[in-house]
Amino acid sequence: MTMRYRILGGTGIEVSVHCLGAMMFGYVGNPDHDDCVRIIHAALDQGVNFVDTADMYSAGESEEIVGKALKGRRDDVVLATKVHFRMGEGPNRSGNSRLWIMKEVEQSLRRLGTDWIDLYQIHRPDHTTDIEETLSALTDLVRQGKIRAFGCSSFPTAEIAQAQHVSERRALHRFRTEQPPYSLLARGVEKDLLPLCRQYGMGVLTWGPLASGFLTGRYRKGGAIDLTTGRAAITPHRFDPSIPENAAKLDVVEKLVELAGDLGCTLPQLAVAFVAAHPAVTSVITGPRTMEQLDDLLKGASLTLDDAALDRIDEIVPPGTDLYQPNVWQPQALVDPALRRRPLAERAAAG
C-alpha cells in the first residue's frame, strides 16, 4: 500500500489523500479510548498524516481521544477540528460569533493537548452572525498562532462565494478549505460547489464517502435490513426498502458491487477511490469505528480508477445526481415559512 499526498488548497500543507475522521471515537461510536488510540496509531503508521475531528463529536470526547493519540507525534500530523454546534446549556455556547469562537478554540486546544490547530473549520453556517465577524475572529486566531488556516464545512455555494468576497473586500484571511458530503450516491456537489472551490483555489476534504453505510455492502437488495440497529435505527426512513427512493439506491448498490468485483476491490474501496479521483478533491475523510474497518479502507489507498471504470460509474449514477441526501444545513429561507410568504394582510390586499 502506497499512501498518496496532495497540497491542501493554497496553504502549502501536504496532506494524505486518506484523512482519518474521528467522529466515531467516543461514546457515539467506539467508547474504548485505548482501542481508538490504537486505530489512530495504525493509520499514522500506514502513512495517514491528516486527522479530522470536531468539538461536538461525542461532546468533546473525540478531541480528547485524538489528543491522547497524538502525544509524542503531534509534529507529524496535520490536525483539523471544527466549531459551531452547541456545547452546553445556555446562550452563547454555539454558533459562529466571535465570542463563541474565541472561547471554544481554547477548549479544543485543551482537549487536544496542543498549542495550535492546523485547520480550524466552521462546521455549519450561522444565519444569526455576520460572516465578516466570523472571518475577523478566525483571522485574529491565525495572527495569534493558535490556528494555521481555517475553512468551512457543508456551506452552500453562495455562502462560500460571499465569504470569499468579504475576505477580499475587508482584507481578512479567507476560507482555505471546504468539507462537503460527496459519494457515489451524492454527486450533487459536482454541479457548482466543487468547480467553485477550484476557482478559489480551496482545498476540499470530503465526508460521507460510504453514504451512511449504503456503500459498505451491509445493505443489499433482497437482504434483510434491520431497521432497529446502527444508523438505520436513528433514521429508519433512509433505509426502509419499501420506500421507492431507498429501493432505487439498493438497485444502484447492486450495480456498484458488480463493478467492484470486476475491478478486484471491495465496495468501500471503490467508493473512496471514486471520490479521490475528482480533481477538486484533496482528501477523503473516512471514519472507521474498528481496526477492521480501517484496514479494509487503507488496503485500497493506492487504488486508481481508470477512465473505463469512471465511465461505468457515470452510466450507473450520472454526474451531478443525488440519490442520497446527506443531513446537512438547510437555509433559513427553507426552514422559516415567514421568509417565503408575504404577510397574510399584504397577500389579501394584493388580491
3-state secondary structure 51-96: EECCCCHHHHHHHHHHHHHCCCCHHHCEEEEEECCCCCCCCCCCCC
Tens digit of pLDDT for each residue in 304-341?
999 999 999 999 999 999 997 776 767 777 778 888 88
Residue 126, Cα to own-chain centre: how many angstroms?
17
pLDDT band at 351 (very low <50, low <70, confident <90, very high): low
CA dist 225 and 202 (Å) reads 39
Q: CA-CA distance, 186 to 190, in Å (whole number)?
A: 9
Q: What is the pLDDT of residues 225-273, one digit of tens each?
A: 877 777 777 778 888 888 888 889 999 999 999 999 999 999 999 999 9
pLDDT score of 226: 79
* Residue in the structure block whose three cell numbers are 487504488: 303
Lowest mean pLDDT among 21-25, 193-197, 274-278, 293-297: 293-297
Residue 322 burial by Cβ neighbours in a 10 Å radius (0-12, 13-18, 19+)? middle
Residues 6+ apart with CB under 8 A from 264: none
Least Cα distance to 95 among 63, 137, 146, 52 occurs for: 137
Q: How far apart are CA 19 and CA 207, in angstroms?
A: 10
Q: Higher model confidence: residue 217 or residue 79?
A: 79
Q: Residue 29: which residues within 8 A CB-CB, separation 6 or more?
A: 23, 58, 287, 289
Cβ atoms of 169 and 130 within 8 Å: the answer is: no
Q: What is the distance between the alpha carbons of residues 122 and 231, in angstroms, rounded to a whole number?
A: 25
Cell representation of residue 271: 467508493
**C-alpha distances in Å from residue 184, one per residue of 191, 260, 314, 319:** 14, 13, 9, 9
Q: Are 270 and 262 in contact (CB under 8 A)?
A: no
Superfamily of domain 5-350: NADP-dependent oxidoreductase domain (3.20.20.100)
Catalytic residues: 57
Cβ proximity of 116 and 122 under 8 Å: no
Global pTM value: 0.93
